């Protein structure tokens, strides 16, 4: 019985260490992101395009806006910056509630709390490319 318990403890310890290392290396995904089927529309603002506020109702771009959150991981051990947000995406849900994500190159504000972005600059570049650097 002791051998079995020792084996189970070893496997459990290896799993925990692997998960923790993966989160430190890859970053922690945002929890509680909205589901695409519950999003009614999306409003996107960008500080480099102050006169071009995008209100999106097209299903394709709503899918993209929701999928972008999957690339947004934060690093729990990185320091935060005091910079202002560059991009803001507001997800307006079917029930009228709003979910807001703001970001600059180094920080994401999710549910009002700032977190250091794991892949600095990636999220803002992708949002800019998807919503502002295409026709339409």
Q: Is the pLDDT of residue 136 over 60?
A: no
pLDDT in tens, 93-120: 999 899 999 999 899 998 888 988 888 8
Confidence of residue 4 (pLDDT cuts 50, 70, 90): confident
In whole angstroms, how far apart are CA 54 and each of 22, 27, 40, 60, 95? Answer: 36, 29, 14, 14, 21
pLDDT at 24: 73
pLDDT score for 46: 93
> What is the mean pLDDT of the segment spanning 7-30?
84
């Amino acid at each position: 019985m002791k051998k079995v318990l020792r084996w189970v403890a070893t496997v459990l310890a290896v799993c925990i260490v692997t998960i923790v290392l993966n989160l430190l290396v890859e970053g922690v995904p945002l929890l509680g992101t909205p589901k695409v089927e519950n999003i009614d529309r999306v409003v996107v603002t960008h500080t480099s395009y102050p006169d071009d506020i995008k209100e999106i109702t097209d299903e394709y771009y709503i899918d993209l806006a929701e999928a972008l959150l999957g690339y947004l991981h934060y690093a729990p051990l990185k320091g935060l910056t005091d910079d202002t947000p560059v991009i803001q995406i507001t997800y307006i849900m079917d029930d009228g509630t709003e979910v807001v994500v703001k970001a600059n190159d180094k920080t994401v504000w999710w549910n009002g709390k700032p977190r250091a972005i794991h892949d600095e600059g990636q999220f803002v570049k992708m949002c800019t490319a998807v919503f502002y650097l295409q026709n339409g």
